[in-house]
Every structure is written in C-alpha cells, then in structure tokens.
Chain A
Amino acid sequence: MYVAVKGGERAIDNAHAWLAEERRGDPALPLMSVAQIREQMALAVNRVMAEGSLYDPDLAALAIRQARGDLIEAVFLIRAYRTTLPRIGASRPVDTGAMAVDRRISATFKDLPGGQVLGPTFDYTHRLLDFADQAAIDPAPLAAPDTAPVPHVTAILDRDGLIEPVPHDDTPAPDLTREPLELPACRALRLQALARADEGFTLALAYSTQRGYGRTHAFVGELRIGRVPVEMDVPELGFAIEIGEIELTECETVNQFKGSRTEPAQFTRGYGLVMGQSERKAIAVSLVDRALRWQELGEDFTGAPAQDAEFVLSHCDNIQATGFLEHIKLPHYVDFQAELELVRRLRAEAQEAQP
C-alpha cells in the first residue's frame, strides 16, 4: 500500500534508459552525425554557442543532438561543460572593423563605403515550404569575395559629431561568469549578460520598446556578420598571436536624441554583439542596450521593463529561468503539508466561530 518511500534510484535509472531510447528515435534510421548538425543546423548551433557562451560549433552540435533538439537544454549542457574549463587568459578586444563580412547592411544610408552586402539571409525569401528541397541541388558557384575595407557606419557619423562619441576605455570588462552580478551593473557587464541572454526574452523586451514601453526610436545604422581573428597576448613572446577566428554578428543602432540646453542635438547609440550568425538577437540586444541607458542619457524612467536593469539582468538568463521554473516539479511534500495543516486549522477556527 505505502510504496512511495523507496524506489527513487531505480525509477531514475529506468527514466534515463527510456530517454536514451527516445533520443535515438527509430533505430532503422541512421544516427545524425555531429558534422551534419553543425553544417545543416548552423543557426541552431550558433544560438547554442551564443547562449552557452562557448564558441565551439562541434560541441554545440553534439549538445543539440544529446538534447533531442531542445536548444535550452543544449545551452545548459554547454554551460555546464564550459564552467569546468580553466581560464587561461583573456584575448585582445576583437576588431569588428576589420571583419571579413559575409553580410553587411545599413538601414540609414542607401550606399556607403564597403557597400550593402546581403549575404546569406532569409530576408527576401518567400516563406513557402520547399517540398522539392532545392537545397539538395548543388548551389551555383559564388563570385569571389570583395575584400575592400568596410568601415563602421557610426564612425562616419562620428566624424561629423552627429552621434555621441564613445570614449576609449581600457578598463578590463568584468566577467559575469567569475564574479557575482552586482547592481547597478556597468554597460559592459549589461552587454555581456545580454550577449548570452535568452533570444526569446531579449526579442520580446526589444519589441516592447518598439511598441512604446521605453521607446528609443532606433534605426539599424549597421548590421554586420562575418569572421574576425582572435588575438591573445602571450607574455613569453611579448606580442600578440592569432589563436583562431570566430564568427560574430554586430548591430549598431542610431537612436534619436533631442539634445538639451547645454548639448546640441546628437544621435545616440545602442549596441549588440553576439557570437555566430544571430541577427535577430544582435538587433534585439542593441535595442535593449539603448533602453537601459536612460539614466546616463538623462531620460525619464517610464517604468518600462526594458529600462529596468535589475529586472532585465535578473531574468534574461534562460538556464537560470528554466531551472527555477522547472524545479517546482520537484517534491514539495513538506511545505505543502505545512500549508495543508495551516488551511485546516484556519478553516476549523472559522467553523468554530460560526454561531
């Protein structure tokens, strides 16, 4: 009759065995290789790398397969692995101005040095299911890439003083993964948190600013996707060496600013940088970044969620969020028993009090 006390261990083992079976699916079908996922599910791989804060396409692909395609679960696998890695050092800041761009667009200028490069985008596709699978047909060969320099759009505005200057700052950025988040958080820390934040949450926040909850009148000054070299100073050598290359998506927004009695009118900036090709996320980050800067720019706090750094930073991490959300599945017998007793006692007292 009373069996609930024992059996947890066996139940877990059985659940894991069943999970392994479900994960494999129909054994008559071939197992997807990690390389196939890496190559053909590249945007999922990119999202897992960005939110997992670990640039390793193979590991991200492995995690996606292990997680049965649940991307938050895959991010979790990557984070739990990443946290065990030793911290050897920090790279030099990457130079996104020197990016070998695959895609570079500006919504503020029709043409500009470096040109508009659409790159591999869904933007102008018709969202019609491709039953014949055109992707299976060998694509036409591409023209050789243009290697002309591609200066930042905001640098062009900056030259004319039309946009707020960004003072050069060599203060080492704090590391969210090595120090507890303390509030108020500086912009570098906020951007770091947003770079690994849940894409859906960031998107919704950014969208809310467009609909009037902390409106910032953003233009996409520039969106660029491409590869940049990562350099690291090696003390033994006395100079920096290139240790690899990563793909990044960078978005800079140009936002309206009316100016004040003491300052002439000027545009302001929002910034988003995300690992991999993660365009939606980079734009969203730059909108939220701009909304969070209300205090620094002397704007009003309107109570909008996207303006509230504590609200944004405390809730943007999907690994924290999903863990805490899902923990309510765990047993709460003891607390519930305490509540049950309390409700019974309160009801009994109320009944006694009835005439």
Chain B
Amino acid sequence: MSDYNFAYLDEQTKRMIRRAILKALAIPGYQVPFASREMPMPYGWGTGGVQLTAACLTPDDCLKVIDQGADDTTNAVSIRKFFQRTAGVAVTQATREATLIQTRHRIPETPLTEDQVLVYQVPIPEPLRFLEPRETETRKMHELEEYGLMHVKLYEDIARHGQIATSYAYPVKVEGRYVMDPSPIPKFDNPKLSDCPAIQLFGAGREQRIYALPPYTQVVSLDFDDYPFEASKPDHDCDLCGASDSYLDEVITDDRGGRMFVCSDTDFCAGRVRAGHAGRLAGRNKGAAA
C-alpha cells in the first residue's frame, strides 16, 4: 500500500480533521462540521470513526477495534485490517494494551486511562434529529440551549410507558451545556462517559460532524427528579465468566427457547475466564471466548 499515505488520509486532510478535533475538545459536546472524505468503506460503516482514527494514529500507537463490544465482529475485523495495511500499527484485542480504541456501540468494561483515546462511530450525531429533521433548526436549538422538546419527549415516554423508553443512544448533557448523542451505546454504558480519564472522540462521516469529550468531563444522562436515570442490563450473570456487572448479549442456543447470556465485551470476558472465573455454562463452551 505504498501508494497511500500513512493511515490512508493525506496530511492536509489529517490537519483539517485535527483542527476539528481540537475545536470539539474545546467545546465539549458541540458538533463541529468537518469536510468528511469518502473512505474506502461505505458511509454508515464507521467512516467518521475511521477518519478520526486515521488523524490520531502515530506509528507508535497500538490499536484496538471493537464492534458490539467484540474484536472479532466482521466490521471490526475489516477496520482493524485496514489500519494494519495502511498504517502498519500494532494491534491488540486487550483493552489495557491499546492506546487508541475505535468502537461501535459499546464502551469497554475495563476502565480506560489517561493514556488512551476512545473513538466512537456515530450514525446520527444530532440528538434532536428525530424530534426536528431540519439541521438549520436543530443548530438554532443548540445555540439557544432550547432543549424543551427533548424533555417533552422523555416526559411523553413516561406518560405512555411509565418509564423513559429509550434503551440506547440515550441523550446526555455535557458540562451543563450541550445535549449530546452518545452514539448508539446501550444506556448501561452512559455512566462510563462521565469523568472518564481518556479522551473520547465521536465521528460521523456521512453527517460530517465531529464532537468530543475531553478527559474528566461531566456527562449527565437526561432524566427527571422523580424518574431518575437507570443504567439497565439483562438481569443475569455472564454464562461464561460469571460477571454480574458487564453488559450481556443474548445468544439463542436452540429452537426450544434455550438461550445463554454472555459478555458483549469479549476481551473483558476472556480475561475473567483466564483469571479463573466461571459462569453457569463455562465448562460446556470450550474455546468459546479464547
């Protein structure tokens, strides 16, 4: 791949993206427009995240890519391979070893550190988009801090369902100013957004937006005093490693209602299994999360 620059993008483009990142870090939660490039993977498949990663990578970095918490889901494999080919950087599946983690839909269970950057892939960066389809309007609403519509939506959820019926991409408020879409992570992950030692960058390629959370930013999930936010997860322990505090995937095991619950974060799960933890079905799944 010697025809392409390090990490695919040319240096001018990287500079443009880095400027947008700096602006985003300076105004936490604000969506910075940037001239998103066509990438060799389709829009909607992580091009925003890939551009952020390309702009941040240095030859000394160690990259981890996850999708749905797992390193081996097809799109994570594809993106990791892309950077192995175009940047030749070291890659890892261990959260602790990575200096840069690109993720889709999850925040790793292992707490992040000040030496790490977490890059999120974002499909629709605008938290108000499904309340107001027009960009010209939503930008105005952010400018004026006019978030009443969002509270009405959450209130209507409670009126209809008795609780806030948003289970992922749950809106947050950043440092008391901007309402932000945390990308489609389950709301279980929302508390990890706040006071995080790592830099968190959000990239939406098709929508041409970058936003960011600098380290230790206060991020509050929207709620009401009488209906406080609750980070929920399946009411089970992991069947492989026994963890009771990690987000779980439900796996259908037969057509008679059989199912098992396993950690969505495969590195976290495998680490626990190696450390001797065992869940309900541990012995019966040889090599499952090896």
Q: Mark A169-201, 1 if CB is under 8 A from B, else 0.
A: 000000001111111100000000000000000
- A342 on the interface (CB 8 Å rule)? yes
A76 — which chain B residues lie within 8 A by C-beta?
Answer: 38, 42
A334 interfacial by beta-carbon distance below 8 Å: yes
- In the assembled complex, the Cα of A177 lies from the Cα of B134 at a distance in Å of 22
Q: Is A310 in contact with B42, judged by CB distance below 8 angstroms?
A: no
B175 at the interface (CB under 8 A from A): no
Chain A 29-71 residues near chain B, CB threshold 8 A:
none
A261 in the interface (beta carbon within 8 A) = no
A217 to B210, CA, bound (A): 42
In Å, the complex CA distance between A183 and B208 comes to 13
**In the complex, A86→B12 CA distance in Å?**
9
Let me know if A337 is at the binding interface, CB within 8 A.
yes
Among candidates B38, B72, B167, B284, residue contacting A338 with C-beta atoms closer than 8 Å = B167
B151 to chain A, nearest CB (A): 20
Chain B CB within 8 A of A302 CB: no
A2 with B123: CB separation less than 8 A: no
Interface residue A339 (Cβ < 8 Å from any Cβ of B): yes
Q: Contact mask A145-189 → B, CB, 8 Å, 1/0?
A: 000000000000000000000000000000001111111100000
Question: Does chain B have a CB within 8 A of A340?
Answer: yes
Give bound CA distance, A310 to B104, whole Å.
28
Q: CA A30 – CA B125 in complex, angstroms?
A: 48
A182 to B232, CA, bound (A): 38
- Closest-CB distance, B11 to chain A (whole angstroms): 10
User: Which residues of chain A have C-beta atoms less than 8 A from B264's C-beta?
Assistant: 333-334, 337
Is B111 part of the contact surface with A, judged by Cβ < 8 Å? no
B243 in the interface (beta carbon within 8 A) = no
A320:B105 contact, CB within 8 angstroms: no
Which of A1-32 touch B at CB < 8 Å? 1-9, 11-12
Interface residues of B in 64-94 (CB under 8 A from A): 67-70, 72-78, 81
**Is the CB of A262 closer than 8 A to any CB of chain B?**
no
> Does B72 contact A6, Cβ atoms closer than 8 Å?
yes
B233 touching A341, Cβ below 8 Å: yes
Interface window among B21-29, B193-201, B213-221, B245-253: B245-253
- B161 — which chain A residues lie within 8 A by C-beta? 346
Question: Are A334 and B4 in contact, with the CB atoms below 8 A?
Answer: no
A8-B76, A340-B250 known; A319 and B38 CB under 8 Å? yes
B67 A84 Cβ-Cβ under 8 A: no
Q: In chain A, residues 59-98, which have Cβ atoms closer than 8 Å to a Cβ of chain B?
A: 76, 79-80, 82-84, 86
Interface bin, chain B: 35 or more
Q: Is the CB of A323 within 8 A of B42?
A: yes
Interface contact B208-A181, CB-CB below 8 Å: yes
Chain A interface residue count, Cβ-Cβ cutoff 8 angstroms: 51
Contact between A180 and B42 (Cβ–Cβ < 8 Å)?
A: no
A263 within 8 A of B: no
CA distance A271 to B171 in the complex (A): 43
Q: Which of B55-63, B142-150, B181-189 is the interface stretch?
A: B181-189
Is B228's beta carbon under 8 Å from chain A?
no
Assess whether B247 is in contact with A334, with CB atoms less than 8 Å apart.
Answer: yes
Q: In whole Å, how far is B125's beta carbon from the nearest beta carbon of chain A? A: 12
Q: How far is the CB of B101 from chain A (nearest CB, A)?
A: 16
- Contact check, B77 vs A327: say whether CB atoms are below 8 A apart: no
Assess whether A323 is in contact with B47, with CB atoms less than 8 Å apart: yes
22 contacts between A and B (CB under 8 A): A2-B253, A76-B42, A177-B37, A180-B33, A310-B135, A320-B206, A322-B42, A324-B206, A326-B44, A327-B123, A331-B74, A334-B105, A334-B168, A334-B185, A334-B186, A334-B247, A338-B167, A338-B232, A341-B167, A342-B165, A345-B232, A349-B162
Residues of A within 8 A of B (CB): 1-9, 11-12, 76, 79-80, 82-84, 86, 177-184, 310, 314, 319-320, 322-327, 330-335, 337-342, 345-346, 349
Closest CB pairs A-B (n = 8): A323-B43, A327-B44, A323-B42, A338-B167, A324-B44, A180-B33, A79-B38, A180-B208
Known A6-B287, A334-B247; 18 more pairs at CB < 8 Å: A12-B78, A84-B4, A84-B10, A183-B136, A319-B38, A323-B44, A323-B47, A324-B44, A326-B42, A327-B43, A327-B45, A334-B69, A334-B184, A334-B185, A338-B188, A339-B167, A342-B232, A346-B163
